Structure formats: C-alpha cells, structure tokens
C-alpha cells in the first residue's frame, strides 16, 4: 500500500507539471537545470549547446517534466520518512521498535503477513524472511526537528539538480558518456541485487539508488534525442 501510494504521488506530480503553462515550465527548467531560454518569444532553449524548441518538442519537454517530478518525489518521501514514518528492516532475534509500529513479514512473490511486534520483545519467526516495520514517529517531532529535516531535503533537492546538470554536460563527451553508461549499469546491478537478496538497506539508500538510476537513464535518452533532433533540423 505504501509503495502503491508513492507511485500514485509520482504520477500526480507528473500530470501537474505536464499541465503547467509551457512558459512557466520553461522558466522552472531554466532555474533548476540552467537550460537557458535564448528566445523567450518562441521558447527556443539552449540545451548545453544545442538549440531546441520547447514549444514543439514534446519528448524534450516531457523528459524534463519527468526529471523534476522524480526529484520532488524523492524529497517528499524522504521528508515523510524522517518526520512521519520510518521504514525499518529487522531479522530474527532483533528487538522490536519501541515506538508504535505496524510490522509485516515480507515475502518476495506473495502478499506480506502481518506480524505483531510488541515493544521491547525479540522478533521470533520460523523463517529467515525479513520483517519490515512502519514505525510511526510523528508524535515525537518538534518544530526544530522538522526544520532540520526540511534543510536536509532541500540539500538533497539541490544535489540532484546539480547531478542532472553535471551528467548532461559531461554526456556530450565520449569519456563522459562511457562513465555515465557504466555508472548506470552499476546502479542497476545494485538495485537488482538488493531486490533479490535479503540484505537490509535503508529506504533512503534505495530511494536515492532509484532516483540516480532514473536520472542517468534520462540523461542518456536526452543525448540520443538531441542528436536525432539535430539531424532532423539539419536535413
């Protein structure tokens, strides 16, 4: 349910951004990613040296919408994880969380079974399957704590924006493209490894792996698009 809700949130963000007026969206892209508008009347944008019409290029526009939505999405989820609900993984003989929580025995190919985890007791199950607990921490939050988490999330937001700009810039060079493709493959292998094994990785780590992987894939497809766009424009 939690992961389904997060997917719905991402879809809502994408639809909202896609429905924004094109000029407002172009200004947002310019502020976040330094993709400058060189002709405000016709919304001609300079994508790191390549001129692209923001009005007519749907793929270019939608790619940037997806990128903004993913960055905002991970920031919202990190804020919720810090201020409202922690997602923690446990194994046999670990102590149950002291805060109110809802725990489940996770199964790869079937629905999870609820597990009653009393505060202070040790987890005791018959299998080696991990137990995931949704620990409710909203009642413990203070104004200062929420402000600190907002600062951390804004830093993550800025980091992802800079990472996208940097990846787009170095993708124009052969060595940079090789680095991006190699890093993308590495991140995908890590994601698959964490999915098929029972290694406990924090939800923050998983979210950042997903977002960085999607970011690099987006950069690669934008490079392919701009090259084909140039070819079409020149012929």
Q: Quick: pLDDT tens for 152-195.
A: 888 888 999 999 999 988 988 889 899 999 999 999 998 888 87
Domain span including residue 92 = 86-140
37's enclosing H/E stretch is: strand 36-39
Tell whether 97 and 181 lie within a shared domain. Answer: no
d(Cα 31, Cα 132) in Å, to the nearest integer? Answer: 39
Q: Can you list the alpha helix ranges (DSSP code H) found in 84-170?
A: 143-170
pLDDT tens for residues 84-114?
777 777 777 777 877 777 787 776 545 667 7
User: Mean of the pLDDT values across residues 142-155?
Assistant: 84
At 109 the pLDDT is 47
pTM of the model: 0.80
Task: Tell me the percentage of the chain whose pLDDT exceeds 90.
Answer: 21
Tell whether 100 and 181 lie within a shared domain. Answer: no
Tell whether 216 and 148 lie within a shared domain. Answer: yes
Strand 131-136 relative to strand 36-39, pairing: unpaired
Average pLDDT, the chain: 82
């Amino acid at each position: 349910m939690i992961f389904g809700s997060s997917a719905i949130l991402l879809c809502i963000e994408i639809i909202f951004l896609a429905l924004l007026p094109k000029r407002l969206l172009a200004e947002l892209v310019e502020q976040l990613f330094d993709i400058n508008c060189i002709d405000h009347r016709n919304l001609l944008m300079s994508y790191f040296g390549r001129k692209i019409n923001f009005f007519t290029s749907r793929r270019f526009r939608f790619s940037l919408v997806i990128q903004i939505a993913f960055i905002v999405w991970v920031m919202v989820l990190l804020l919720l994880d810090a201020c409202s609900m922690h997602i923690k993984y446990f194994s046999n003989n670990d102590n149950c969380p002291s805060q109110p929580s809802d725990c489940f025995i996770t199964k790869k190919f079937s629905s999870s079974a609820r597990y009653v985890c009393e505060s202070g007791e040790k987890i005791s199950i018959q299998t080696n399957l991990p137990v995931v607990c949704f620990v409710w921490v909203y009642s413990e939050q203070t104004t200062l704590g929420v402000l600190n988490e907002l600062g951390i999330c804004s830093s993550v937001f800025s980091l992802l924006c800079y990472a996208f700009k940097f990846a787009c810039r170095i993708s124009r060079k052969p060595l940079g493209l090789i680095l991006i493709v190699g890093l993308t493959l590495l991140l995908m292998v890590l994601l698959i490894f964490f999915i098929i094994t029972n290694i406990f990785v924090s939800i923050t780590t998983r979210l950042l792996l997903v977002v960085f992987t999607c970011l690099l894939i987006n950069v690669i497809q934008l490079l392919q698009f701009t090259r084909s766009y140039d070819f079409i424009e020149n012929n």
